[in-house]
Structure 1
Amino acid sequence: MRTLKHISKLLLVTLLMMSCENSQKKKASLPEQKTQKKVTAKDILGNKNYLAISYGGYRDTLRNIQPTIAELKEDMKILYAMDIRVLRTYNVQLPHATNILKAIRELKNEDTNFEMYVMLGAWIDCKNAWTNQVPDHNQESEQNKGEIERAVALANQYDDIVKIIAVGNEAMVKWAASYYVQPNVILKWVNHLQELKATGKLSKDLWITSSDNFASWGGGDKIYHVEDLNKLIKAVDYISMHTYPMHDTHYHPVFWGIEENSEKSSLQKIDAAMLRAKEYAISQYDSVFNYMKSLGVNKPIHIGETGWASSSNGHYGNRGSKATDEYKEAIYYKHMREWTAEANMSCFYFEAFDEIWKDARNPGGSENHFGLFTIDGKAKYALWNLVDKGAFKGLTRNGNPITKTYSGDKDSLLLEVQLPPIKAKVTVNH
């Protein structure tokens, strides 16, 4: 009996071992389940694998005509196809930003490989901004508190998507005469958000900044060099600065004019002017960096906004500085992507799609033409190479496949490209 029991035990052990081995083989043959990695702002910013862009999905002349979730998802797929992984939004007063977050969540649920993150903007105004009363730049709007609360709620609800909160957009620069505030207002809300992080009411990995003109960060007139700005620079997790050489082709065209007697071809002259535009943007970055260092601060600076319009019937067009067309826009886009990649900076390029609500009364105004895509989904010259590569195959916007502007005819495009003015005839406009 002992021998039979012993044999039975051996058989049982053998069967168990075979069962375990088969189970392991089955597991090995199953496809791996992809789990989405935990990504933080620190991982994203300055990482060339996470291209950034400023995004508004508005397709009409009025912002109260909000893009649908389906339309936003359509745009997300287009941007994903061009390797965009981080979007910048501007306010949480309207449904737009919330709906973008919903659209991204749905796409992530549909495809675990889909990856998109957001720099969530909270709009900040002074008292009486956008009213028929005189703006009071020394007091803040009563609306700011609610705007910050909404941003906090969304950052917590979509903590897998929202990685940055930007307090204000060009909210400190003095030429934003309709709404600008003093730096103490931005400082107040940045400190508030940092306190929420410290007390566990916001993710400690969420980065807080304000996105503003280079001058507002100390890189321009000394009028901005106040103690509250210095405190703000120390309080943010990084500096988000804006630089717009295109605007200064009219307002401060020190880099823009071309030599009258030059043997270069027209395109070579334009290329040289666009290279100077890039160098001008770098000089503005350097001015902010140097001011920050003068305070004994060392933290990242990223480009929160820069762009170049493809058309203008005003200051920057053919009756002005002759700066705007798709050729120059494409050169500038290439320069900005190359420079920021080499410098390990993020660039929230402005912008993804044309938005015609921005200057609805003047369809030819430059503000309506900063997109890399037209409203109906045509890729401007900067992105023709991606169309050629088939990056947008099967994708549509407003029911239209993604095709090239000018039907892909570069000669037709170049017919509309004009030389910048002769250097001796360039004047500074204030």
Structure 2
Amino acid sequence: MKIKDLNIEPGRAICYSGFRHGQAPGEVYPSYEEIKEDLFILHGHWKYLRLYDCDEQTDLVLEVIKTEGLDFKVMLGAYIGAEMNNFGCPWGGTYSSDELALNKEKNIRQVKKLIKIANEHPDIIFSLSVGNEATVHWTDHYVPVNSVIDYVRMVKKETNQPLTFCENYVPWHDKLVKLAEEVDFISIHTYPVWEYKNIHEALDYTKENYYGVAEKYPHKPVVITEAGWATNSNGRGIDPGNVNEKSQQIYYNDLVNWSDKEGILTFVFEAFDEPWKGSEDANEPEKHWGLFTVDRKPKRVMKDLVQKLLC
């Protein structure tokens, strides 16, 4: 089954988060003018944007799209936080019972806001996601599958957009079988470089990840909601010799060409570098997945795009 069966046409898609130096979720958010600058950089080259959270940034993104008359369609996500301890997580994931209870309350509010925004902007928001990487074994915000299913049912009952859950490809093979029957389409994340693949193995590995899930659920469309290649690393999880702008360019072009040919909706991760992510180390790989730097300068893969903008 293809995404077109849900009346969603495949097209160029990208993950967007606009946090710059000194900004971070829950703290300082980008301004209207900063988001406007970002969206004008992306406009005309990507049709679909993926947003992760129903927060102040999302409110401004939707305002900019509407006010400036930009031709974007948005996949809007509700971020759900930990409802259960994940003692195996290498970077946290353990909370007090009071914190877990508070997270549950926040999650319900987040899901209700997702419903509200989806119904207010049906012309812009083309699909919805409840949660992001919340069930995989290494997550620091673990949510039990049955709880995710409850949220999916809440949203489906009160909205009209197709609904999904965004997760690494691995849990869809076993842990998420019941959830797969609740969503309208399945969303997977595939990162060959995190799994120690070199650039020559990258696209084949992505195909293996995608088709492994697609063949398990032939009655459900499968979307890639994250796939990308970092350009820097301090060695934490990624070999520094395996990431650079040349490899990012190769993987991006291979990924997009394959997705276009096969009619697969693929969200490239991500538009801009985000310095708030990961550790204090400036070379932390989490900070370096953008096709543009945090200063909005194009990396190698985007040089041709910028040249076209100037012509």
Structure 2 residue 181 is matched with structure 1 residue 231:
no
Q: Quote the Cα distance in structure 2 between the aligned partners of 1:75 and 1:67.
A: 10
Q: Give secondary structure in 2 for the equivalent of 1:388.
A: helix
Structure 2 residue 137 is matched with structure 1 residue 174:
yes
Assess if the C-alpha contact under 8 Å between 1:137 and 1:180 holds in 2: no
**Cα 1:179/1:246, change in 2 over 3 Å:** same
Q: Deviation digits for residues 262-298 of structure 1, max 9, x if unmatched?
A: xxxxxxxxxxx423111011111122123224xxxx1
Shift in Å, 1:132: 4.8
- Aligned partner letter, 1:115: D
Aligned residue runs from structure 1 range 9-408, under 5 A = 42-45=6-9, 47=10, 50-63=11-24, 64-81=27-44, 83-92=45-54, 94-108=55-69, 114-127=70-83, 132-133=95-96, 141-176=104-139, 178-196=140-158, 202-203=159-160, 206-218=161-173, 225-226=174-175, 229-249=176-196, 256=197, 273-293=198-218, 298-315=219-236, 320=239, 322-359=241-278, 361-389=280-308, 391-392=309-310
**Cα 1:360/1:100, change in 2 over 3 Å:** farther
Q: Quote the Cα distance in structure 1 between the aligned partners of 2:182 and 2:123.
A: 24
Shift in Å, 1:96: 0.8
Assess if the C-alpha contact under 8 Å between 1:308 and 1:324 holds in 2: yes
Q: Deviation digits for residues 36-90 of structure 1, max 9, x if unmatched?
A: xxxx994444x2xx31100001112431221111111111111014x11111111
- Aligned partner letter, 2:215: N
Q: Give secondary structure in 2 for the equivalent of 1:352.
A: coil
Assess if the C-alpha contact under 8 Å between 1:140 and 1:185 holds in 2: no
**Cα 1:135/1:179, change in 2 over 3 Å:** farther
Assess if the C-alpha contact under 8 Å between 2:23 and 2:30 holds in 1: no
Q: Quote the Cα distance in structure 1 between the aligned partners of 2:102 and 2:95.
A: 16
Give the TM-score normalised by structure 2: 0.89
Shift in Å, 1:372: 0.3
Q: Give secondary structure in 2 for the equivalent of 1:125.
A: coil
Q: Quote the Cα distance in structure 1 between the aligned partners of 2:240 and 2:214.
A: 29
Shift in Å, 1:134: 6.9
**Cα 1:182/1:137, change in 2 over 3 Å:** farther
Assess if the C-alpha contact under 8 Å between 1:354 and 1:372 holds in 2: yes
Higher relative contact order (CA 8 A, sep 6+): 2
Assess if the C-alpha contact under 8 Å between 1:128 and 1:135 holds in 2: no
Q: Which runs of 5+ in 2 are unaligned?
A: 86-92
Q: Give secondary structure in 2 for the equivalent of 1:288.
A: helix
Assess if the C-alpha contact under 8 Å between 2:83 and 2:142 holds in 1: no
Q: CA RMSD in A?
A: 2.4
Q: Deviation digits for residues 153-187 of structure 1, max 9, x if unmatched?
A: 111111111111100000111110x2111211111
Q: Quote the Cα distance in structure 2 between the aligned partners of 1:120 and 1:61.
A: 24
Q: Give secondary structure in 2 for the equivalent of 1:143.
A: helix
Q: Quote the Cα distance in structure 1 between the aligned partners of 2:249 and 2:272.
A: 14
- Aligned partner letter, 2:64: A
Assess if the C-alpha contact under 8 Å between 1:137 and 1:179 holds in 2: no
- Aligned partner letter, 2:21: D
Structure with larger Rg: 1
Q: Give secondary structure in 2 for the equivalent of 1:141.
A: helix
Q: Which runs of 5+ in 1 are unaligned?
A: 1-39, 109-113, 197-201, 219-224, 250-255, 257-272, 394-430
- Aligned partner letter, 1:156: N
Assess if the C-alpha contact under 8 Å between 2:236 and 2:284 holds in 1: no
Report % sequence identity. Answer: 32
Assess if the C-alpha contact under 8 Å between 2:15 and 2:269 holds in 1: yes
Q: Which residue of 2 aligns with 1:4?
A: none
Assess if the C-alpha contact under 8 Å between 1:86 and 1:116 holds in 2: yes
Q: Which residue of 2 aligns with 1:428?
A: none
Q: Give secondary structure in 1 for the equivalent of 2:217.
A: helix
Assess if the C-alpha contact under 8 Å between 2:232 and 2:240 holds in 1: no
